[in-house]
Amino acid sequence: MARKMLIDGELEKTNQEDTHYDFDLFVIGAGSGGVRASRFSAQNGAKVAICELPFHPISSEVVGGVGGTCVIRGCVPKKILVYGASFGPELEDARNYGWELNERIDFNWKKLLQKKTEEIVRLNGIYKRLLANAGVKLFEGEGRVVGPNEVEVIQLDGTKISYSAKHILIATGSRAQRPDIPGQELAITSDEALSLEELPKRAVILGGGYIAVEFASIWRGMGATVNLCFRKELPLRGFDDEMRAVVARNLEGRGINMHPRTTLTELVKTEDGIKVRTDHGEEIIADVVLFATGRAPNTKRLNLESVGVELDKRTGAVKVDGYSRTNIPSIWAIGDVTDRMNLTPVALMEGTYFAKTVFGGQPMQPDYNHVPCAVFCIPPLSVVGLSEEQAIEKANGDVLVFTSTFNPMKNTISGRQEKTIMKLVVDAETDKVIGASMCGPDAPEIMQGIAVALKCGATKAQFDSTVGIHPSAAEEFVTMRSLTRRVSASQPRTNL
């Protein structure tokens, strides 16, 4: 069936209309974005195929699995471990609520690991069924592009089969990177960290992003000694500086040893464990060293440059336009492989809009404004919109900042000394709320609702006129009526 794509009000003119293809769409990569794009394209009448590497919890160039990083070795198993790590401190907090607990509380890492693996196997099966139910043909093997309209699948037995497709979509995600330091082979990445045979008693983590602070919280919550090393003064570069400071204070308050402005220079295997040397001359002995130093687009084995697809010279990311189309008209790319905004829900949005644009007759460019996100440290951080620093940089006029810092009601009985902080950033001229952030229990659950308000262009006056739910932490967002500070757009930025 011939299909034409509508962009900017004009039908795409192509000489391919009368050409026969095996598929209307062939997707390489069955992670969140690839599965969404293939299913929704099939629902619009397209004949769709998708290929993915065989399932394994730890990815490599030859194994992966339907569901991709988020489901198998990312967001989902990570969140399961965060839940597991949260119980220890909560059991301690329960004592002041009248729960009489034994002094010794044992934790069974292997049991949690087994349950986590069972869950990702279950989800892997669900994703396969979703594809089958949508009529998408799944090929297990490694896919590579061999022409503008041709994909080669290297099957598990090594044989190669080629398929033609009117459109090819690259959705291969990203892969964890390792810094090039002596002894780097002794360290692990987040892939292995989610499947360790034994829970480490001593851990060193290099990195200051999402993965680093989340695993610091996980391992510390399970009783390990954790040393967190990062290059800046505060972790979570790119987030609101005030919130970064709160996260750092909370991590330290829960017993994590913080090493700001620190990197690792060498790892050495010893009888007692891995000796870690820092650029400050410190030596730390660890059972596990985790490199959480970023991820790179997964493009190396796709053969893209040989068919003319432009890649970013520095990162290897696939270059695309606003519709997720590469410089080769028949080849598209979504998700982390494009290195735009590397979040699972964003890949889902891009996959949805791709299907609507190419097969639904509704050209749509993804909107990257007001995308909420969360860091699942303990307690979590969640944000939407602009940070205070970003607002100051972008604003034409003054920026109004409203904050609330308080002891959560639960902590007043448990005795835990850990404040929750909330912030609203407002454009003084329009009264629109342009940023919101929160660090404290349930922050991601609360911020999802705040994101809807920002997406709708809510003003501070509308926040103030909203009746709160009492008693709750969330009600603070609609009762912050006292201005904390008014900041001029000319104020210099910090470099924390």
- The answer on whether 174 is annotated among ligand-binding residues is yes
Quote the tokens at residue 256. Answer: 């994590």
Number of Cα atoms under 13 Å in the Cβ half of residue 190: 29
- The answer on whether 394 is annotated among ligand-binding residues is no
Quote the tokens at residue 221. Answer: 């919550």
CA–CA distance, 449 with 442 (Å, rounded to integer): 12
CA–CA distance, 284 with 257 (Å, rounded to integer): 11
- The answer on whether 97 is annotated among ligand-binding residues is no
Contact 63, 53 (CB under 8 A): yes
Q: Which residue has the tokens 């959480």?
A: 292
CA–CA distance, 424 with 485 (Å, rounded to integer): 11
- Give the Å distances, CA to CA, from 95 to 101, 113, 261, 379, 413: 7, 27, 38, 19, 10
Q: Is the torsion defined by CA of 32, 35, 38, 43 positive or negative? A: negative
- The answer on whether 356 is annotated among ligand-binding residues is no
Is 167 noted as a catalytic residue in this protein? no
- The answer on whether 336 is annotated among ligand-binding residues is yes
- The answer on whether 38 is annotated among ligand-binding residues is no
Among 248, 225, 216, 254, residue whose Cα is nearest residue 235: 248
How many CB atoms sit inside 10 A of residue 301's CB?
A: 13
- The answer on whether 31 is annotated among ligand-binding residues is no
- The answer on whether 211 is annotated among ligand-binding residues is yes
CA–CA distance, 454 with 471 (Å, rounded to integer): 24
Catalytic residue among 167, 259, 370, 470: 470
- The answer on whether 71 is annotated among ligand-binding residues is no
CA–CA distance, 408 with 441 (Å, rounded to integer): 8
- The answer on whether 242 is annotated among ligand-binding residues is no
Would you list which residues are annotated within the binding site for FAD? 79, 143, 172-174, 336
Would you list which residues are annotated within the binding site for NAD(+)? 207-214, 294
Would you list which residues are annotated within the binding site? 79, 143, 172-174, 207-214, 294, 336
Q: Provide the annotated active-site residues.
A: 470
